[in-house]
Amino acid sequence: MKRFALLVVALLIAGPLPASATRSYVADAQTKIHVMGEWAHPDDDTSIIGPCGVWHQRYGVKCGVIMVTRGEGGGNAVGTELGPDLGLRRENEDRVAHYRSGTVDIFNLDRIDFFYNQSAPLTQYFWDEEETLRRVTRVIRQTQPEIYIGFTPTLAAGHGNHQQAGRLIWEGVLAAADPTRFPEQLRGPKALSTWQVKKVFSGGSTAGTGGTTSAANCTTGFTPSGLDTVAGVWTGYPSPYTWPAGNLQGQPAGTAKIWQQVADEGRAAYPTQSRVMFKGTSAPACSRFAMTQSFVPFQPNSSPAAGLDEAILFGAMKPDPGGLPLGTLQYLTFSRFYNVAGEPFQATVHLRGKLARGTVELTVPAGWVTDGPKEVRSGSRADVTFTVTPPASATVDQNARIAAHYKTAKASGYTDNVVRIVAAAEGRFQRWGNWQEYDQWLETVAPQANRLGRSQAIQSMGVGQSIDVPVVVHNWSARPQSGAVSLELPSNFTTDATSKPYTLQPGADATVTFRLTNTDTALPVQQNVSIPIRTASGSETLTLSLVPTTAIPQAAVAVDGKAAPGEYPGPTLDVNRIWQGASGCTGPADCGSTAKVSWSDDALYFFIHVNDDYQSYAVTPAECVGHWQADSVEILLDPRGTASQSLMDTANTFKLGVFPFSQSGPFSQTGKPCWSRDADNKQGPAPGVEVASTAQWVGSNETAVPHAYAGGGYDLEVKIPLALLPAAVDPARLGLNITPYDNDDTSAPGTTTLRHIDQSTRLGWSALGSVQSDPYRWGLATLPGYTPPADRPTVPGPPDISSPNLNGALSPQTIAQSARNGVPISGRVPSTDLQIRYAGLRGNAVDIVTVSRGKGTARAFLTTGELGAIPVWTSSCSGDPFTPCAVTDGGIPPWAPDMSGRLVKQSEQQITRGLQLWSIPLTAAQRQKLAQDGRLLISYETAADQVQAFAIKLNARRLSGLQ
């Protein structure tokens, strides 16, 4: 202790922290990323495992992943972790999946993973849109990737988290290159520089013909069916990983696994998400990526060089075969994207870099006209503008490709881009909700993404009801336009007029509105119908969802699991339509459900009968939140019938998941029902709800025990106080759906224990795909005679997500990565306040001396063993946790509470200004573990939310490397 005291004195004499010097930023080898992917959740990103492995091994490419969330809102098929604890486990699964491909940098942004939705605006609300973009921009500027890959930003991505992750690609590329966006990142002691990503692969189409999966350079001969340039990589190359002796697949020991095998093994490495160890043998594949934006010359698919497995790198990481110097920018922009047949527009070729004297000319579709070629002088930049005129016969509602060729005496460069031909007077159904918001994003934020297409025309209406169908007609041309809009009606529909006229000046809009009536009160088998909207030379199709309707009568009800006479005088609702998982329904004895609804005393009452031939896994109290992972019924209520219109989707609704039985219900004794709110305005308990169930648990989750329901199913009776809803019910328009979930035998192959995972058949009153997330597609109900209390709000309050996300400062894997590559935890603002002046083992403790310019929170993690990728499977194969050598392999190693033994101890310390000593006590066993290959990881958060990370290796005597 005396020596330690002398050291502290010496550190005091050492003086203050050194000042940092300002410099121009260039990413070093530890930080630089060549190919960056971005996704919303762990396991969204597995498409790049094989390609990144090939690129890394053959071409020296370093891949990275920006992961917006850690998937804390998902289920857990193999453990009890939920919320932040699940996020820690899922982060490791993602690292395990990618680790062997050389992708060891996964940049988690610490955004919250909330319930399934289909709304990018709702995702923006929960993610804090501007802060998330700030973090994405910092990661791009600091790692300086050349190529960016990920989700489409369009509504076709489905999950709203996926849509927003796709948008962040387009927005991040723009922001990183723009000195006016987040300028604070460009100044100060940790100043970065703006950065131009060279190629973007987000939302393009890889459909086409030709190519191969059986040989290298697998895109040779490939012809895309669309206009996107497609780059491919063959995953049949041998990897550095070999087959272990005794492998179940019967492969010769010591022979190389192909990269597709490595990829498939990695794709399976998410046991919390119900995936099991991959025990097959993979065939080679050709992974293809469609480019949607490029700032550098590239090879079109008509070029032989485009078929090479390195083609994606041309112009970005490797010189383009055309011979232009690496670093040359060449891209094409237009005066407008939407153009009219017969009318000219401008196309500009932008060139940057060491430009030699030469010419630029355009290649346009047959029948189109342009000027040129045009001269380019030597220099560092050139912008060459052409006039392009499509013929009067150009096909409307179709993209057209324009290519630009830059030629010098010794080199050439190619680029292309697309425009769209639209009708001179274009009539589109007036967008609303998420569709309107997406089109506004295209117009104001990322116009280049228009090449992916605008939103679809979507609406819903109750059967037998009438709605307005507004059509906005826009004049895209330079001349006045007049004509008429008409609707093509399917059977059982009428409208107030067959067509309606318009007259428009150039650039003007006019809205014509039709009154549409459905004349059949019976819900059709196919709830979606198509209604073409036509103008003089253009058309689009409105997809109209017909939803069921009902009137809910007033009646006194006793919640006893029985529908006594007079309690439910209203109609019987058919909740037996399948909207997902039809293959799991074996017939009427398995899927046959009905419901009745009444209201009384400011509450709704439901009596639901479910036919089911197999009793599923019985949930624990902690699992009572994931209703889709066992037999259950969800009741969905949109109090105003406007949640989708408000862009909040189910965050403005009430959703109650009810399990007919449980292992030990939180509200009653063993085997009785349990329930919870989920994916709505206030997730969690639902005080005041009453449930009665006739289901009796069979008492075991083992399949050896008979799992038949007594009586062939169960009845649920549920009371929901309307005061629980986020707003007062509109008695003329209550959004309502009832969706049974039928899970059967969910035991893993070769096992006999049921699991809490989603293998369900999903049924409903209104049964449309993803209806659980789309209130506009729920049924509609009226409550005759009901008046809500006068003091009840008509506007839902802010939604509450009960489960927080993991803070990256609490993840040892994230801290270790940040300490290694210098990118701050979560992409947050870096701090230079803290220094670790000493850290050492002293008998039964680790002593740490810090000096700081300010106050904050330090968290220390003492770890041992390999932390970058902690195995997720057990295997009897020597040294290979991805391969089975016995049929029983593929078990799950224990994870909590110590990250499979890697986490020895953790501690938290409040840091004060100046010099400070703190100690972490150790047991003898803990000290022994750390003496072998221990490491000290420290995260530091300032009061201003700035972060630092430190990683110091231990040995038996002390921690080496003072900082």
Segment 249-278 mean pLDDT? 96
- For residue 269, the model assigns a pLDDT of 98
- In this prediction, residue 4 carries a pLDDT of 40
In which band, very low, low, confident or very high, does the pLDDT at 295 lie, cut at 50, 70 and 90? Answer: very high
As a whole number of angstroms, the distance between CA 791 and CA 199 comes to: 56
Q: How confident is the model at residue 23 (pLDDT cuts 50, 70, 90)?
A: low
Distance of CA 508 to the CA centre of its chain: 37
* Tokens read off for 446: 């990322």
Task: Quote the tokens at residue 163.
Answer: 């849509």
Please tell me the predicted confidence (pLDDT) of residue 670: 63
Give mean pLDDT, residues 606-613: 97
Smallest Cα–Cα separation from 925: which of 952, 901, 899? 901
Which amino acid, one-letter code, is at 274?
S
- Neighbour-count burial for 115-140, b at 16+ CB within 10 Å, e otherwise: bbbbbbbbbbbbbebeebbbbbbbbb
Q: Which residue, 407, 411, 404, 414, is CA-closest to 323? A: 411
- Taking residues 319-330, report their average pLDDT: 97
Query: How many Cβ atoms from other residues are within 10 Å of residue 325's Cβ?
Result: 12
Of the chain, the end-to-end C-alpha distance in Å amounts to 21
The pLDDT of 624-647, averaged and rounded, is 94
Q: How far apart are CA 732 and CA 24, in angstroms?
A: 64
Render pLDDT for 186-221 as a digit per residue (tens, 0 to 9): 999 899 999 999 999 999 999 999 999 999 999 999
Instruction: Report how far residue 475's alpha carbon sits from residue 428's, in angstroms, rounded to the nearest whole number.
Output: 12
| Radius of gyration for the chain, computed over Cα atoms and rounded to the nearest angstrom | 31
Q: Per-residue pLDDT tens for 506-538?
A: 999 999 999 999 999 899 999 999 999 999 888
Distance CA 896, CA 903 (A): 10
Write down the mean pLDDT value for the chain: 94
pLDDT at 961: 40
Could you tell me which of 102, 26, 109, 36 has the C-alpha nearest to residue 71?
109
CB atoms within 10 A of CB 95: 25
Q: Is the pLDDT of residue 942 over 80?
A: yes
What is the predicted pLDDT for the residue at 960? 41
Question: What does residue 313 show for φ and ψ, rounded to 5 degrees?
Answer: -85, -15
β strands within 291-410, DSSP E: 293-294, 329-334, 338-340, 345-355, 358-363, 369-370, 374-376, 379-389, 398-408
Q: Residue-wise over 35-65: b if at least 16 C-beta within 10 A, else e? A: bbbbbbbbbbbbbbbbbbbbbbbeeebbbbb
3-state SS assignment for residue 54: helix
CA 798 vs. chain centroid, Å, equals 23
pLDDT(80) > 70: yes
Burial of 867 (0-12, 13-18, 19+ CB in 10 A): buried
Give the pLDDT of residue 8.
38
At 145-156, the pLDDT tens digits run 999 999 999 999
**β-pair type (345-355, 379-389):** antiparallel
Mean predicted confidence (pLDDT) in 832-851 = 92
Three-state SS at 453:
coil
* Mean pLDDT across 748-764: 88
Q: What is the pLDDT of residue 757?
A: 85
Instruction: Categorize the per-residue pLDDT at 567 as very low, low, confident or very high, splitting at 50, 70 and 90.
Output: very high
Q: Residue 905 forms beta bridges with which residues?
A: 862
Is the pLDDT at 14 greater than 80? The verdict is no
pLDDT at 20: 37
Tally the C-alpha atoms within 13 A of residue 182's C-alpha that lie toward its C-beta. Answer: 28
pLDDT > 70? residue 374 = yes
Other CB atoms within 10 Å distance of the CB of residue 432: 15
Helices 160-176 and 120-127 sit at what angle, rounded to 10 degrees? Answer: 70
Confidence label for 751 from pLDDT (cuts 50, 70 and 90): confident
Q: What is the pLDDT of residues 873-911, one digit of tens each?
A: 999 999 999 999 999 999 999 999 999 999 999 999 999
CA distance 755 to 629: 8
Q: At what angle do helices 49-59 and 84-99 cross, to 10 degrees?
A: 50
Q: How far is CA 766 from the centre of its chain?
A: 26
pLDDT tens readout for residues 157-176: 999 999 999 999 999 999 99
DSSP character at residue 598: E
- Residue 11: is its pLDDT beyond 80? no
User: What is the arithmetic mean of pLDDT over 565-570?
Assistant: 98
**In sequence order, what are the beta bridge partners of 715?**
609
pLDDT band of 933, cuts 50, 70, 90: confident
Token pair listed for 13: 């004499």
pLDDT band at 955 (very low <50, low <70, confident <90, very high): low
Q: Percentage of the chain with pLDDT > 70?
A: 96
Beta carbons of 449 and 443 less than 8 angstroms apart: no
Q: Is the pLDDT of residue 109 over 90?
A: yes
Residues 6+ apart with CB under 8 A from 16: none
Q: What is the pLDDT of residues 767-823, one digit of tens each?
A: 998 899 999 999 999 999 999 999 999 999 999 887 789 999 999 999 999 999 999
Enter the DSSP assignment of 562: -
| φ, ψ dihedrals at 925, nearest 5° | -65, -40
pLDDT at 16 exceeding the cut of 80: no
Pair of tokens at residue 340: 């009219």
Mapping DSSP onto H, E and C, the string for 123-156 reads HHHHHCHHHHHHHHHHHHHHHCCCEEEECCCCHH
With CA atoms as reference, report the closest residue to 341 among 503, 479, 455. Answer: 479
DSSP conformation letters of 622-686: GGTT-GGGSSEEEEEEETTS-TTTTT-GGGGSEEEEEES--SS-TTSSTTS-EEEE-SSSB-B--
